Amino acid sequence: MKSSDHNNIFPKQKPIEKIARLASFTEFNPRPVIEIDLEGNIMYENPSSVNIFSDLKKKGAKHKYLSGLPYIVKQLKKGKSSFSREIKFNNRWFRHFFYYMPDFNSIIVYGSDITDRKQADENLKESEKRYHMLFNSMNYGYALQEILYNKNGKPADYRFLDVNPAFEKLTKLKRKDVVGKTISQIPSTLSHSDSIKNRKNYDNVALTGKPLSFETYHKDLNKYFELYAYKPNENQIALIFSDITHRKKTEEEKNNFISIMSHELRNPLTPILANTQLINSMIAKQDNVDPAIRESVNIIERQSKNMAYLLDDILDVARLSRQKIKLKKKIKNICEIINHATQATMPLINNRRQKLSVVFKSNPMYAYVDPLRFEQIIVNLINNASKYTKTLGHIKVTSAIKQEKIIIKIQDDGVGMDAKKIDKIFELFSGSNKMVMGIGGLGIGLNIVKNLITMHQGSIEAKSEGKNKGSEFIVTIPAITKNYPARTIEPEKTKHTEELTESYSPLKILIVEDNEDIINTLSKILRQDGHDVKTTSNGLTAVTMARTFNPNIALVDIGIPGINGYKVAEAIKHRNIRLIALTGYGQKKDKQLSKKAGFQHHLTKPIDIDYLIKLINEKTPR
């Protein structure tokens, strides 16, 4: 330091007073402080320096701690007030400050151990190196953006700060054309998709700070992306994304296969089930029928229906995996839903000669549910209990309200479960049922139950004390306990909401179907009821026959040669014909397409013959 600076530190003091003041400062300093002459001889060192550098006084300028001293002295003599540097000694890093004191022709060397800071710097550099290696080499696209807020503190836009090579590859945008610009300035970017939902997701992360995962389709690129957005700090948002187009196409192909498989399996089920119902109706009119024949027909009918239910479950699994099931929630009395569910399971319970008890500890109990889907939950759980309970066994359904929750318990005295493996019971296709209960099964029904309960903001728990000690499934959903308008509770509806009135006047019926067994079965049943029936397996022929035969009703399959069933309906709907679709496709979109084409009814195979007959015999306007 300059002489004038030194005088400012110790104003109006004699040299001896300055030395005393300096001595008191250095003596108790935990950092090493030494005074040397211009040749490097040690004139003074404080206790801290002695502890750290035991041989410093002996070696003087030759000590590594004072290496390069001639150059430093030269710089100080040129008029520099101080000199600083960093030096490594015995695996420790020190920062040196050299202060020149011309009045004493000496130099004060003040040292500070910066090893921890240097290590932190090295760790940071290494971390940044690894980060940049990952940033540049990973297959996931990455974009870091600055959040631009408006005057109300709401996110108005996002400015790109950095993107990685994978971003360029996935979006077809160059880094130089993106960084520094906002999303609104780049008309075709991953973040600025056609979906408003995409922007809302971004804004939600910016406002709440909560990370969010979502999928989007980019029309310009014809790609599906899976995105994960998060806030690394208050004013930035980061996006990690990957191309999932192949996965989405594979899922779509899988689901299409399941749908087609289900349709193909429903076709043979229709004539099987229809013929068993026909035989049963014929048996009912006779007195002397061998009981074994009656039982055999009942078994065929029952197992055909079970096959249809299994196909429904397979389709539900596919739809749940794609999040295609949308709940239609209403405020409903859960007791009524449980009653409907138990009635639906009674044929199975009676066949196995089991006892089913239902206990309502509170009634009514209201909840916000999809009545059809919640009934499906209870039916599946009771059927599951029946399946794993022996003949003459007991199944009990109990429901109650506790702490604003509706708790439904389904208990049985069946085969029980292995408590160590019970957490696997709701997994799909894992063989869990065999592993846990000792009986084979795909776990489809319980997997559907768990997913549907989760969609109702509820939970399900399975319990068992072990083998042959029965099982218990506990369903919990939020209850509605506050007052609400009575009009919000809708009256219960029957399975088929149409008001069916029997009228047995002979009708002209056209059957358009390419499965010969279905044609023969339906024709035989309808002709027995006195109806005039004509059939065809071709869509174009059906349009012609609608004009020449002039039927009251047309039963039309969708997947037929010539033109499909939708086009047949569109061509003949103006002729005042009641159009009934008979198809293996029963998803929501299929029913919407039927309605749009002009069908008044959509029946999914295998059809319930009794219901079809009632529907046909309903008073038909001409």
Could you say which of 202, 218, 243 is where a domain stops? Answer: 243
- Residue 93 and residue 162 in one domain: no
State the Cα–Cα distance between residues 425 and 471, nearest whole angstrom.
12
Rg (CA), the chain: 41
Same domain, 150 and 107: no
Domain end among 195, 220, 243: 243
State residue 491's pLDDT score: 37
Q: What pLDDT is stored for residue 373 in this prediction?
A: 86
The answer on 146 and 18 residing in a single domain is: no
Tens-digit pLDDT profile for residues 237-248: 988 888 888 888
pTM of the model: 0.47
Q: Provide, rounded to the nearest whole percent, the portion of the chain with pLDDT above 90.
A: 21
Please tell me which residue, 472 or 446, carries the higher pLDDT value: 472
- What CATH number is attached to the domain comprising 469? 3.30.565.10
Rounded distance, CA 521 to CA 527, Å? 10
d(CA 496, CA 607): 13
The predicted structure's pLDDT at residue 387:
87
Tokens 């996110």, located at residue: 155
464 and 546: one domain?
A: no
CA angle 240, 216, 179 (to 5 degrees): 45
Reported as a single tens digit per residue, the pLDDT across 319-348 is 666 666 778 888 999 999 999 888 888 888
Residues with Cβ within 8 Å of 464's Cβ and at least 6 positions away in sequence, in order, are 416, 417, 418, 419, 422, 470, 471, 472
Q: 483 and 513, same structural domain?
A: no
Give the tokens for residue 512.
Answer: 């358009």
Give the pLDDT band of residue 419 (cuts 50, 70, 90). confident
Q: Can you tell me the mean pLDDT for 56-60?
A: 88
Say yes or no: 350 and 482 in one domain. Answer: yes
In which domain, by residue range, is 355 found?
Answer: 330-488
Mapped onto helix, strand or coil, the DSSP state of residue 173 is coil
Q: Which residues of 259-291 are buried (b: 16+ CB within 10 A; e: fewer)?
A: beebbebbbbbbbbbbbbbbbeeeeeeeeeeee
315 in a structural domain: no
Q: Is residue 499 one of the residues assigned to a domain?
A: no
Residue 541: pLDDT band (50, 70, 90) is very high
Give domain status of residue 146, yes or no: yes
Would 163 be classed as within a structural domain? yes
Which CATH number covers residue 597? 3.40.50.2300
532 and 446 part of one domain? no
In a domain, 257, yes or no: no
Indicate whether 339 and 478 sit together in one domain: yes
The per-residue pLDDT for 21 is 58
Q: What is the mean pLDDT of the chain?
A: 81
How far is the C-alpha of 599 from the C-alpha of 619, rounded, in Å?
17
Domain for residue 528, yes or no? yes
The whole-number average pLDDT for the span 226-245 is 89
- pLDDT at position 20: 59
Q: What is the number of domains present in the chain?
A: 4
Would residue 592 count as lying in a domain? yes
CA dist., res. 303 & res. 310, Å (int)? 10
DSSP 448-495: HHHHHHHHTT-EEEEE-SSTTS-EEEEEEEE---S---GGGBPPP--S
362 in a structural domain: yes
**What residue has token string 């509605």?**
480
Of 115, 147, 167, the one marking the end of a domain is 115
Average pLDDT over residues 109-115: 88
CATH of residue 158:
3.30.450.20
Confidence grade of residue 278 (pLDDT, cut at 50, 70, 90)? confident
Kindly state whether residues 73 and 149 are assigned to the same domain.
no
